[in-house]
Structure 1
């Protein structure tokens, strides 16, 4: 049995109390959408997930921190031949996603309502075909930059689980987050694909604007769309 590592968690797990339909979605739908045994209580030996059994042999994508789920649901609807795992510790966002999934009637999604590092622990090597990091918490204070996702603690396991040639997409409206992303991600086995400014100023062809991006645009901040390829 592997000892559980000590990990600090920063950010919110819950906002206002869930009421009505959202509480019902969590109670009725969430357990059936688990990607497998991810929690340490259920999987203390960290047995790798059987993704073929979970998704029927589909390619598998991963969205880290899906927020309210707008992008994840749109991708699931447009790519029914792909399985998508979403990791999001903020239970209010999970509840919003569950409501959207009911309306979309898709069956190719799995949800871990917790830290993405727990999912990394049990994903097999080179098992993920695409990953998304969309408007992550910016942690703007310099002393908090080590809390950002684009650090070795997250990028090393992400590189391990991504297939060679797979895409890692990052969207952010924070210039210093762009700086740190362009500095750190290539250090962990990725190549930035941009050749000209339009490559990072223009959203992806299949992009769905999230509520976080809409807020950024309203407040005058500029979205950046960064695409990396796993070497």
Structure 2
């Protein structure tokens, strides 16, 4: 594993590139990626996520760390009216998604080929209808737990950008990370866990496609867990007092 810093000075962990890419994927990085890349503005400058797409969209969903892109591409193909933004710093994963996007002919995907946090900072309040954090790096060593994406700080940010009633979907095959995500998200005042029975977290919902990583985990004897939370309604702001008094 390696680490680096982004343009805001935040530290990024993990690999940025893996095996050499095949010719087609290299070409897609040069030709298709520039057309789909979200230019994240400087810190403090807001961005309208719906305006990132060439046609009107009914809602915008966000996937943090899309891996090889199979889940994101499936969602885009099955929800053509939704705009999907995916964040992934791993170049090979970005190239994989580009290939899937081109093969499917979808036009409702945008990509941040970098860390998700600068984008989250730039998103307006209540601007995202669904967010996915699936099979994130578990960082199993205790001294690395602070690197885990789901935690108090990012949950506060996700709660800010998610609309009331929006879903936050989390998945992992690592028991330690599952406990960590449950502990932090159940305890957060803005999220409610939707599970009512064991099958709600043991079985993947029909609109949640399998990925190659998940299939490898099952083949290795690891059981994935699927967690769904909803963003609780925001408290109503008190009505302003009439001017002048009486």
Q: TM-score, normalised by structure 2?
A: 0.87
Distance (whole Å) between structure 2 residues aligned to residue 115 and residue 90 of structure 1: 9
Q: Which residue of 2 aligns with 1:81?
A: 81
Distance (whole Å) between structure 1 residues aligned to residue 197 and residue 207 of structure 2: 20
SS in 2 for 1:106: coil
For structure 2, which runs of at least 5 residues remain unmatched after alignment?
A: 1-6, 233-246
Q: Of the candidates 40, 48, 55, which is equivalent to residue 50 of structure 1?
A: 48
Q: Which residue of 2 aligns with 1:128?
A: 128
Matched, 1:32 2:32: no
Distance (whole Å) between structure 2 residues aligned to residue 7 and residue 170 of structure 1: 23
Matched, 1:208 2:209: yes
- Change beyond 3 A, Cα 1:74–1:57: closer
Distance (whole Å) between structure 1 residues aligned to residue 212 and residue 63 of structure 2: 16
SS in 2 for 1:225: strand
SS in 1 for 2:165: strand
Say if 1:178 and 1:224, in contact at 8 Å, map to a contact too. yes
Distance (whole Å) between structure 2 residues aligned to residue 21 and residue 52 of structure 1: 30
Q: Which residue of 1 aligns with 2:3?
A: none
Say if 2:50 and 2:60, in contact at 8 Å, map to a contact too. no
Deviation at 1:45, TM superposition (A): 4.8
Say if 2:43 and 2:118, in contact at 8 Å, map to a contact too. no
**More deviation in 23-32 or 8-17?**
8-17
Deviation at 1:30, TM superposition (A): 0.6
Deviation at 1:52, TM superposition (A): 3.1
SS in 2 for 1:9: strand
1:87-138 Cα shifts (integer Å, max 9, x gaps): 0000100001000100000011100000010210211111000001111001
Q: Which residue of 2 aligns with 1:175?
A: 175
Deviation at 1:194, TM superposition (A): 0.7
Decide which structure has the larger Cα Rg and report it: 2
For structure 1, which runs of at least 5 residues remain unmatched after alignment?
A: none
Q: Which residue of 2 aligns with 1:194?
A: 195
Q: Which residue of 2 aligns with 1:112?
A: 112
Q: Which residue of 1 aligns with 2:9?
A: 6
Distance (whole Å) between structure 2 residues aligned to residue 46 and residue 19 of structure 1: 38
- Structure number with the higher helix fraction is 1
Say if 2:50 and 2:83, in contact at 8 Å, map to a contact too. no
Distance (whole Å) between structure 1 residues aligned to residue 186 and residue 163 of structure 2: 15
SS in 2 for 1:133: strand
RMSD of aligned Cα (Å) = 1.4
Aligned length: 223
Q: TM-score, normalised by structure 1?
A: 0.92
Deviation at 1:63, TM superposition (A): 0.5
Distance (whole Å) between structure 1 residues aligned to residue 114 and residue 48 of structure 2: 19
